[in-house]
Amino acid sequence: MSILVTGGAGFIGSHTCVEMLEAGYDVVVVDNLYNSCAEALHRVEKITGKSVKFYEGDVCDRALLRTIFSENEIEAVIHFAGYKAVGESVKKPMMYYENNLISTIALINVMEEYGVRKLVFSSSATVYAGDNTVPLTEDMKLGAINPYGKTKLFIEEILRDLCASNSDWCVALLRYFNPIGAHKSGLIGESPKGIPNNLMPYISQVAVGKLEKLNVFGNDYETRDGTGSRDYIHVVDLAKGHVKAIEWTLGNTGCDAFNLGTGKGTTVLELRNAFVDVTGIDVPYVIAPRRAGDLDEVYALPDKAKRVLNWQAELTIQDMCEDTWRWQSNNPSGYDE
Ligand code: NAD
Ligand code: UD1
């Protein structure tokens, strides 16, 4: 029996493949390599000493999905495949609605055809409305403000309706906070194409000399030092959360949402300073205007994941900085080396 991982060559997917393989599961990956490289999967095999069966193709392609379900005994699916750049989603909303929604609908339909009804879905903290108070709990008001976030919200709704219509389904909606870091081996990590949008890859590219300086988007937020505060979570902790979520889906029915975060906020300057302390490398910065759509402070209450999934984050901000730097310095151009 295998677990199908869509988008398994990507940042979170590749780390999750490692943890699934190490937990004893067989893993089948489907990825169209739109935002990733097959090399990531070779490195997953190197880390674990186990093989990954890889299908290069699009999750929107039902014929391909049928081939995968016919050729393998799939027990459950982890669905990472999707586009994730917020700014791009505002400029090209149809590209996001089409890829993220159609791939999910195709996947659910083919899973139903093959009687596979256990699914873990990559949702995001971005589904929470901006006027909630922190820490965020799963029952709080939802409301995304950009097309990317709306795709996550719409998919959550679709999956809730699906589970309500057939009690054989079990779906875990995992709301990730801010995944950063990399595997301890330094072999896999985040490899953004072009200039990074997110803070940690930006910091590490300044450190490695690819970018000149960090722009700190605003220092007049309601936080300890005025810079935005987020709940950064080590990608390996996040990956382990998927192993727990798969176990939960295999033994349950219904649809439930879980925050995967640490419960702690770290500001932009705190993260930059921790990175400099851990690596000994300077990261020059300037204060820049606020970025549209950003909130003061976002962090999770992760208690439900602990209670129901028996999962909690263990790694520290220092681990996240150290592991990001090992990956970045060993692979200055990501997988493009
Ligand atoms: P990623 O871009 O590294 O991984 C996504 C993978 O899906 C890529 O390998 C890409 O090639 C593949 N893909 C995209 N569309 C596809 C399609 N139609 N068919 C087949 N493959 C396809 O992103 P990631 O950071 O690993 O994120 C994984 C998931 O988690 C995404 O759904 C993302 O929206 C979600 N998420 C990510 C974050 C984050 O900060 N990284 C936060 C919250 C949620
Ligand atoms: C962003 C997305 C969110 C997505 C998440 C993970 C937006 C508005 N939100 O979250 O939907 O789920 O990424 O992919 O884009 N910052 C700087 N300088 C930079 C980059 C970021 O100061 O160059 C600051 C931001 O203002 C923020 C913090 O760093 O305060 C974290 O930013 P980022 O890493 O982009 O994550 P989010 O904005 O939380």
What is the pLDDT, as a whole number, of residue 337? 62
For residue range 98-133, what is the model confidence (pLDDT) as tens digits?
999 999 999 999 999 999 999 999 999 999 999 999
Q: Which of 17, 55, 61, 80 to mutate to test the pocket of ligand 1 (most atoms within 8 A of CB)?
A: 80
Q: What angle do CA 11, 149, 319 make, to 5 degrees?
A: 35
Check whether 160 has a pLDDT greater than 70. Answer: yes
For residue range 278-307, what is the model confidence (pLDDT) as tens digits?
999 999 999 999 999 999 999 999 999 999
**Which structural domains are found in the chain, ordered by start?**
2-181+232-262 (3.40.50.720)
Check whether 209 has a pLDDT greater than 90. Answer: yes
Specify burial of residue 22 (Cβ count, 10 A radius: 0-12, 13-18, 19+).
Answer: middle
pLDDT (mean) for 41-65 = 98
pLDDT (mean) for 247-273 = 98
Long-range contacts formed by 205-208: CB under 8 A, 24+ apart: 205/328, 206/283, 206/284, 207/275, 207/279, 207/281, 207/282, 207/283, 207/325, 207/328, 208/328, 208/329, 208/332
pLDDT (mean) for 34-48 = 97
What is the pLDDT, as a whole number, of residue 336? 81
Task: Provide, rounded to the nearest whole percent, the portion of the chain with pLDDT above 90.
Answer: 98
**Measured from the CA of 79, which atom of ligand 1 is nearest?**
32
Catalytic annotation present for 148: yes
Calculate the average pLDDT of the chain. Answer: 97
Alpha carbons 70 and 142: distance in angstroms, whole number: 37
pLDDT (mean) for 182-207 = 96
Check whether 193 has a pLDDT greater than 90. Answer: no
- Residue 127 carries which DSSP code? G
Pocket of ligand 2 (CB under 6 A): 84, 86, 124, 126, 149, 178, 197-199, 202, 215-217, 228, 230, 268, 291, 293-294
pTM exceeds cut of 0.95: yes
pLDDT (mean) for 204-215 = 97
**Measured from the CA of 148, which atom of ligand 2 is nearest?**
11
pLDDT (mean) for 87-104 = 98
